[in-house]
Amino acid sequence: MADKNEKFEIIIAIVNEGYSDVLMDAAREAGARGGTIAHARGTGTKEIEKKYGIIITPQKELIYILVTTKIRDQVMAAINKAVGMGTKGQGIIFSLPVSNVSGLKFD
């Protein structure tokens, strides 16, 4: 089980469909152990495309990765480099603190 004093964060990434494998490869190289992928559909308007210069692809993948606070920044940086807004993955990445975790086992 995880140390009850260990602090965790959940990294949530929203990427264009087909980029979750690239994201997870980068996250694992940065120390993440795994993640959960869910399929979703985004919404956008022509005004957003015009204002920000990005094309809104409606099919998205949501990736949830639970990490210790110690590695959060390096995992997020690796994800951003691999599939951030400047890439075809057009990823949006953020994290939230997690107040309680059970069921994890670390070697």
Q: What is the pLDDT along the chain (107 residues), one digit of tens a residue?
A: 456 678 999 999 999 999 999 999 999 999 999 999 999 987 766 676 777 776 666 789 999 999 999 999 999 999 999 999 999 999 999 999 999 888 877 65
**H and E: helices and strands count for the chain:** 3, 4
What residue spans define the domains of the chain? 8-98
Question: What is the dihedral sign for C-alpha 71, 72, 78, 79?
Answer: positive
For the entire predicted model, the pTM comes to: 0.84
- Residues 86-107: pLDDT tens digits? 999 999 999 999 998 888 776 5
Between CA 44 and CA 50 the distance in angstroms is 11
Between CA 9 and CA 30 the distance in angstroms is 15
Between CA 31 and CA 75 the distance in angstroms is 7
Q: 8-98, which class in CATH?
A: alpha beta
